[in-house]
Structure 1
Amino acid sequence: MEYLRCKWIHDLVNEPTIIILEIDENRFETRKIEIFRDGKFGIAAPNLEYMNTRLGEVPLPEMEEIARDEQFKVQIISSQEFNEIWRDKIQLFIRFLKD
Structure 2
Amino acid sequence: MKYLLAEWTHQEEDEPYLLYSEMDETRRETRRVEFYRNGITFSYGGERGNEGALRQEPFPEDLRDLQPPEAETEGDFSAQEISPGLFYEIWNQAQERPDGFMGMFF
Residue correspondences, number? 88
The 4+ residue runs of structure 1 with deviation greater than 3 A are none
Instruction: Specify the code of the residue in structure 2 equivalent to 1:72.
Output: F
Find out whether 1:84 has 2:89 as its counterpart. yes
What is the percentage of aligned positions where both structures have the same residue? 33
In 2, are the aligned partners of 1:30 and 1:55 still within 8 Å (CA)? yes
TM-score (normalizing by structure 1)? 0.76
What is the CA-CA distance between 1:71 and the residue it aligns to? 2.4
Does 1 or 2 have the higher relative contact order (CA < 8 Å, sep 6+)? 2
In 2, are the aligned partners of 1:43 and 1:54 still within 8 Å (CA)? no
What is the CA-CA distance between 1:55 and the residue it aligns to? 0.7
SS in 2 for 1:3: strand
Per-residue CA shift, 1:37-90, capped at 9, x if unaligned? 1111111105613xxx811111112313228x872121211001100110111x
What is the CA-CA distance between 1:11 and the residue it aligns to? 2.2
What is the CA-CA distance between 1:26 and the residue it aligns to? 0.8
Q: Distance in 1 between matches of 2:76 and 2:24?
A: 24
Instruction: Specify the code of the residue in structure 2 equivalent to 1:88.
Output: Q
Per-residue CA shift, 1:8-54, capped at 9, x if unaligned? 122222010000000111110010000001111111105613xxx81
SS in 1 for 2:30: strand
Q: Distance in 2 between matches of 1:93 and 1:30?
A: 16
Q: Distance in 2 between matches of 1:58 and 1:93?
A: 24
Q: Distance in 1 between matches of 2:36 and 2:79?
A: 16
Matched with 2:40 is 40
Matched with 2:60 is 61
